[in-house]
A and B are shown apart, each in its own frame.
Chain A
Amino acid sequence: MEPDENATVLLDEKAVGRSLTRIAHEILESNNGAENIALVGIVTRGDLLAAELARRIEQIEGVKVPVGRLDITFYRDDIERYLSPQVFMTDIKFSLEGKTVILVDDVLYTGRTIRAALDALRDFGRPDRVQLAVLIDRGHRELPIRADFVGKNVPSSKTESVSFFHKLIDGRTSVEIRKSSGDHVGSAPVPNAEELARVFQQVLGDEA
């Protein structure tokens, strides 16, 4: 599947791969290894990136770090204005106590998603530290939040949308920018919950 003509590709599959490999190394460097690390990806795309990072960390360090998926829908502060078309399952099967949790998302924009994710994490326990890894930082922050690990900084206009696509869901892996159509500037099309969970496991496990 090819991107449509209105889209500009910011990162292609190779570039996304290189960014993720670098972030994996940076995470290990900043935490002195993979001890006590846990990755928590924010659905719908951050969870796939978390799985990609976990796979790379395993390749580099030979350690399997726990990976969770977090749906922040119920922690949003704008339910009267916008309702997610679909709610996904949160799945964090490990304790966060004493861990360094690395939140993973595709695009860092207003910071409101991360604010909600921090609230949500608190309901699962008290990690020692929370860090943030994003593939794209597009600016326009509305809250005092910054990422610890960034794939690429992309200056953008508020009328544009920046989306991450994964080949197992969208047929291509890329980051694209395009003129936004609706008022909600979200990520790529929302996949089916079961398909997403299946792809997540696939990325995490055997998929080379």
Chain B
Amino acid sequence: MLKHSHLIDITEYSPEEIYEILDTAKSFSEVNSRSIKKLPTLRGRTVINLFLEPSTRTRTSFEIAGKRLSADVINFSASSSSTKKGESLADTAETLAAMNCDICIVRSKMEGAPWLLTRHMNSHIINGGDGCHQHPTQALLDAYTIREQFGGFEGLKVGIVGDVAHSRVAGSLVPLLKMLGAEPVVIGPATLMPSCPDLLGANHSYLLDDVLPDLDVVYMLRIQMERLEGQPLPSLREYSMLYGIDMKRLGMMKPDAIIMHPGPINRGVELSAEAADSPRAKILDQVNAGVAVRMAAMYLLLGGESDGITA
């Protein structure tokens, strides 16, 4: 059983709890391969998908996860909601809290938004990505995919390539991999690196080709046009030449090394079309794992809470 009521920051979790989530997700992935993919586990529970930033795959993944557990899933998106009319996040939270939902998944461009919700709602909060901070369920599904591929994490070299500075995926994945015994290394141009890359706890490199032959996992981050200010890259073409994976770089990789990507892919930027479609790319396995991992997170957060929620 998890010691936490919320899943906001992956660094709050212990390796034992992470393995509990991953093991439970494995059982759910068996359910997802059945012809009847539905369990009565969360019957009568309400899950709200509060997505204040555009997202299709994460929202859909959470929605499917909730529905496969028989919860009632309500989608609440920014474009159609009162936030457009100027309601504050705290007021939105109070309103949703008054409707007694059990789990609230929040995606926001503001770091700390999920934490703010815990102050205003008596629900379990799952961070579906907050600004440049964290995206814990993405890191968990990545860990699940790596574990399925390699059986474990000890000593695996995982290169996380791209816009590390703005990446909430890296924000969760780097500490999670460290916790599980892998060796993350962040790679990217200096302009897209955090000002103190060492604070992340990972090694870093500015040249992909220097480290590429040593990597077991090449994790490509998406170049997030919406988050880039100023001109950190001379051109996408130059970025692609220096940091993109094409068939030539694929050939430089270890024979059993895999490519991962949190999606959506910018084809021709961080991954060439051939590389993205090669059997070495485990991108669809990641998406598949996402549903199981999110089912596990919801199940474990809601289970065993007879005395109500404790903070």
Interface-side segment among B23-31, B248-256, B279-287 = B23-31
Q: Is the CB–CB distance between A123 and B302 below 8 Å?
A: no
* Complex Cα gap A65–B305 (Å): 41
Counting CB contacts under 8 A, is A190 at the interface? no
B11-65 residues with Cβ-Cβ distance < 8 A to A are 23-24, 26-28, 30-31, 34, 36, 38-42
Q: Is the CB–CB distance between A79 and B39 below 8 Å?
A: no
Q: Is the CB–CB distance between B302 and A79 below 8 Å?
A: yes
- Nearest CB on A from B245, distance (A): 34
Find A85's partner among B1, B30, B38 (CB 8 Å cutoff). Answer: B1
Complex interface: chain B residues within 8 A of A91 (CB): 30
A64-102 residues with Cβ-Cβ distance < 8 A to B are 71, 73-76, 79-83, 85-91
Find A123's partner among B28, B36, B42, B300 (CB 8 Å cutoff). Answer: B36
* Complex Cα gap A88–B26 (Å): 9
Q: Is the CB–CB distance between A80 and B1 below 8 Å?
A: no
Complex interface: chain B residues within 8 A of A73 (CB): 27
* Complex Cα gap A71–B48 (Å): 28
Q: Is the CB–CB distance between B38 and A123 below 8 Å?
A: yes
Counting CB contacts under 8 A, is B310 at the interface? no
Q: Is the CB–CB distance between A86 and B23 below 8 Å?
A: yes
- Nearest CB on A from B273, distance (A): 37
Complex interface: chain A residues within 8 A of B41 (CB): 74-76, 79
Q: DSSP class of B's interface residues: helix, strand, loop or mixed?
A: loop
- Nearest CB on B from A46, distance (A): 17
- Closest B residue to A92 by beta carbon equals B34
Q: Is the CB–CB distance between A89 and B40 below 8 Å?
A: no
Counting CB contacts under 8 A, is A119 at the interface? yes
Q: Is the CB–CB distance between B24 and A87 below 8 Å?
A: yes
- Nearest CB on A from B162, distance (A): 35
- Closest A residue to B39 by beta carbon equals A74
With A74-B39, A123-B36, A123-B38 as contacts: A83 and B23 at CB distance below 8 Å: no
Q: Is the CB–CB distance between A75 and B39 below 8 Å?
A: yes
Give per-residue flags for B275-311: 1 if the beta carbon is below 8 A from chain A beta carbons, else 0: 0000000000000000000000001101111100000
* Complex Cα gap A79–B302 (Å): 8
User: Contact size class for B?
Assistant: 20 to 34
Counting CB contacts under 8 A, is A9 at the interface? no
Counting CB contacts under 8 A, is A60 at the interface? no
Q: Is the CB–CB distance between A71 and B304 below 8 Å?
A: no
Complex interface: chain A residues within 8 A of B306 (CB): 80-81
Q: Is the CB–CB distance between A123 and B304 below 8 Å?
A: no
- Nearest CB on B from A84, distance (A): 8
Q: Is the CB–CB distance between A80 and B303 below 8 Å?
A: yes
Complex interface: chain A residues within 8 A of B299 (CB): 74, 79
Complex interface: chain B residues within 8 A of A90 (CB): 27, 30-31
Q: Is the CB–CB distance between A88 and B40 below 8 Å?
A: no
Counting CB contacts under 8 A, is A193 at the interface? yes
With A83-B303, A124-B34 as contacts: A75 and B27 at CB distance below 8 Å: no
Complex interface: chain A residues within 8 A of B36 (CB): 123-124
With A74-B41, A75-B39, A119-B40 as contacts: A82 and B34 at CB distance below 8 Å: no
Complex interface: chain B residues within 8 A of A86 (CB): 23
Give per-residue flags for A117-159: 1 if the beta carbon is below 8 A from chain B beta carbons, else 0: 0010001100000000000000000000000000000000000
* Complex Cα gap A86–B296 (Å): 12
- Closest B residue to A77 by beta carbon equals B40
- Closest A residue to B34 by beta carbon equals A123
With A74-B41, A74-B299, A75-B41 as contacts: A83 and B30 at CB distance below 8 Å: no
Q: Is the CB–CB distance between A83 and B1 below 8 Å?
A: yes
Q: Is the CB–CB distance between A83 and B39 below 8 Å?
A: no
Q: Is the CB–CB distance between A75 and B23 below 8 Å?
A: no
Complex interface: chain B residues within 8 A of A79 (CB): 41-42, 299, 302-304
Complex interface: chain B residues within 8 A of A124 (CB): 34, 36
Q: Is the CB–CB distance between B304 and A83 below 8 Å?
A: yes
Complex interface: chain A residues within 8 A of B31 (CB): 74, 90
- Nearest CB on A from B3, distance (A): 12
Q: A71-B27, A87-B24, A89-B26 are in contact. List 7 more A-B contacts (CB 8 A).
A: A74-B31, A74-B39, A74-B41, A75-B39, A80-B306, A81-B304, A83-B300
Top 4 A-B residue pairs of the complex, sorted by shortest distance between their CB atoms: A83-B304, A83-B303, A74-B39, A123-B36
7 CB-based A-B contacts, threshold 8 Å? A74-B299, A79-B42, A79-B304, A85-B1, A89-B27, A90-B31, A91-B30
